[in-house]
């Protein structure tokens, strides 16, 4: 018996006119690029906002009840850190200091008339195990000197155009922080976010010298922006969190790391228009791609209507045509997704360098956009095939 092979009709329909296919791929690739851009910026929004939380060596965190987001400068007394330190299951507790309103950095290389730009300054006691960054840990001895700080390499370059790749030139660059001279003795990598154009790290002692106004009377380190608690080995972080929550004053929320991250993400997603804008962008990209894909498949069906009518007259069922168009739409989605992915990955790199945001091509975002692309093309195919299913073969000859 001779071997009978099936003709890949869906593939033949797509590739019989390479110019039309190229236009279709370009259109779908553009829709993929739109969706990747929106997904990338939305993920960058969330990842950048919680980057500081991810970089902290803590299991439980104390946050002022008035602090609705990390960018809000709401503080609590350091005595609550001491109360948390005394709780069962706690290995140690540390204060973290942060300042934005008073923290303005000026590059004096072009003269004292140069504008000072706001930058987040982060201070901590150097003996405290707070930050995970190996770069910062390796440079802690440098921060023991007066008026020194490390600067984030991802700080907005148009505002903070220091020679970040040359440590000697960076240390020699004249700069002012809060109208006082500062020496930038090194760099680290944290990233900007939608509230901060950059970051500085310094010792708590230097932090107090630059921002004495934090406390109207007394010690500027007496008020804390964040309490960081490390639990003992084998202790359950949730149980320790509950214990601390019962003991400390009701001025603070007590969060585990996951609760703290979710709280921050929820604020930016639900309480700001940014999350809505990015979701709208994804929908627009989906609709644009759907319209393009619909036009391609509809035109293909219209051009080959006599051939399809012949197949219908030969007894091919509606199910066959549905499978054919779905296969064609699936092929179109895969072919269009690949160049869209490649261009998006390149664009992510350019935008990450330009903005300092954490724009990363993650497997989750790749899978999400691929799923949206397949759904977009299949939905377009099902809309376009209605004309073929409703056609009477007798009227087409």
pLDDT tens-digit readout, 146-205: 999 999 998 888 888 889 889 899 999 999 999 999 999 999 999 888 788 899 999 999
Instruction: Give the domain-ending residue among 270, 299, 323.
Output: 270
104 pairs with which residues across the strands? 118
Q: Is 145 in the same domain as 106?
A: yes
Cα–Cα distance for residue pair 19/26, rounded to 1 Å: 11
Q: Is 260 in the same domain as 282?
A: no
The helix/strand/coil state of 75 is coil
Is the pLDDT reported for residue 12 higher than 80?
no
Q: Is 325 in the same domain as 221?
A: no
Instruction: Give the domain-ending residue among 250, 270, 290.
Output: 270
Structure tokens at 221: 């380190």
Query: Confidence band (pLDDT; 50, 70, 90) for 4?
Result: very low
Q: Is 106 in the same domain as 148?
A: yes
The answer to whether residue 213 is domain-embedded is yes
Instruction: Give the domain-ending residue among 221, 242, 270.
Output: 270
Q: Is 253 in the same domain as 326?
A: no
Query: Confidence band (pLDDT; 50, 70, 90) for 384?
Result: confident
pLDDT reported for residue 367: 94
Q: Is 22 in the same domain as 132?
A: no
pLDDT digits (tens, 9 = 90+) for 61-99: 999 999 988 888 999 999 999 999 999 999 999 999 999
The answer to whether residue 232 is domain-embedded is yes
Query: Confidence band (pLDDT; 50, 70, 90) for 112?
Result: low
Better-predicted residue by pLDDT, 320 or 369: 369
Cα–Cα distance for residue pair 114/62, rounded to 1 Å: 38
Mean of the per-residue pLDDT values of the chain: 86
Query: Confidence band (pLDDT; 50, 70, 90) for 314?
Result: confident
The answer to whether residue 351 is domain-embedded is yes
Q: Is 343 in the same domain as 372?
A: yes
Cα–Cα distance for residue pair 386/82, rounded to 1 Å: 71
199 pairs with which residues across the strands? 120
Is the pLDDT reported for residue 7 higher than 50?
yes
Structural domain count, the chain: 2
Q: Is 114 in the same domain as 213?
A: yes
Q: What is the mean pLDDT of residues 259-271?
A: 88
pLDDT reported for residue 91: 93
pLDDT digits (tens, 9 = 90+) for 244-256: 999 887 889 999 9
Is the pLDDT reported for residue 340 higher than 70?
yes
pLDDT reported for residue 65: 93
Q: Is 229 in the same domain as 112?
A: yes
pLDDT reported for residue 24: 83
Q: How far is CA 325 from CA 330, 376, 388, in A?
A: 8, 13, 10
Question: Does residue 357 contact residue 192 with C-beta atoms inside 8 Å?
Answer: yes
pTM for the full model?
0.78
Q: What is the mean pLDDT of residues 231-250?
A: 90
The answer to whether residue 2 is domain-embedded is no
The answer to whether residue 174 is domain-embedded is yes
Q: What is the mean pLDDT of residues 270-297?
A: 82
Q: Is 261 in the same domain as 364?
A: no
Residues across the chain: 397
pLDDT reported for residue 371: 93
**Which residues, other chains included, contact 154 with Cβ-Cβ below 8 Å and sequence gap of 6+?**
189, 190, 191, 192, 198, 356
Q: Is 258 in the same domain as 338?
A: no
The answer to whether residue 1 is domain-embedded is no
Host domain of residue 86: 52-270
Q: Is 75 in the same domain as 213?
A: yes
The answer to whether residue 123 is domain-embedded is yes
- Angle of CA points 71, 74, 75, to nearest 5°: 125
Q: What percentage of the chain exceeds 90 in pLDDT?
A: 46
């Amino acid at each position: 018996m001779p071997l009978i092979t099936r003709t890949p009709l869906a593939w033949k329909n797509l590739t019989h006119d390479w110019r039309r296919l190229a236009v279709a791929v370009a259109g779908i690739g553009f829709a993929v690029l739109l969706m990747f851009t929106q997904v990338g910026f939305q993920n960058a929004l969330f990842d950048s906002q919680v980057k500081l939380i991810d970089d902290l060596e803590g299991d439980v965190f104390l946050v002022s009840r008035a602090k609705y987001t990390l960018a809000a400068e709401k503080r609590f007394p350091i005595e609550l850190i001491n109360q948390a330190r005394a709780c069962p299951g706690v290995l140690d507790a540390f204060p973290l200091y942060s300042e934005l309103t008073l923290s303005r950095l000026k590059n004096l290389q072009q003269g004292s008339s140069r504008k000072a730009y706001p930058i987040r300054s982060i201070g901590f006691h150097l003996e405290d195990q707070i930050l995970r960054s190996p770069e910062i840990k390796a440079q802690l001895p440098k921060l023991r000197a007066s008026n020194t700080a490390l600067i984030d390499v991802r700080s907005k370059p148009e505002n903070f155009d220091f020679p970040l790749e040359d440590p000697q030139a960076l240390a020699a660059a004249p700069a002012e922080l809060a109208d006082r001279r500062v020496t930038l003795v090194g760099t680290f990598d944290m990233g900007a976010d939608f509230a901060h154009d950059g970051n500085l790290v310094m010792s708590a002692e230097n932090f107090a010298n630059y921002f004495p106004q934090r406390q109207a009377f007394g010690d500027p380190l007496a008020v804390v922006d964040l309490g960081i608690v490390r639990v003992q080995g084998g202790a359950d972080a949730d149980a320790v969190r509950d214990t601390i929550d019962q003991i400390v004053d009701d001025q603070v929320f007590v969060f585990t790391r996951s609760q703290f991250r979710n709280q921050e993400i929820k604020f930016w997603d639900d309480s700001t228009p940014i999350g809505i804008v990015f979701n709208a962008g994804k929908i627009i990209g989906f609709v644009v791609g759907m319209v393009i894909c619909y036009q391609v498949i509809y035109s293909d069906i219209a051009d080959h209507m006599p051939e399809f009518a012949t197949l219908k007259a030969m007894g091919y069922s509606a199910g066959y045509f549905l499978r054919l168009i779905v296969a064609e739409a699936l092929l179109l989605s895969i072919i269009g997704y690949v160049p869209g992915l490649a261009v998006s990955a390149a664009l992510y790199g350019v935008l990450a360098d330009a903005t300092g945001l954490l724009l990363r091509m993650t497997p989750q975002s790749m899978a999400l956009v691929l799923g949206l692309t397949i759904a977009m093309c299949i939905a377009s195919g099902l809309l376009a095939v209605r004309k073929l299913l409703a056609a009477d073969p007798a009227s087409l000859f």
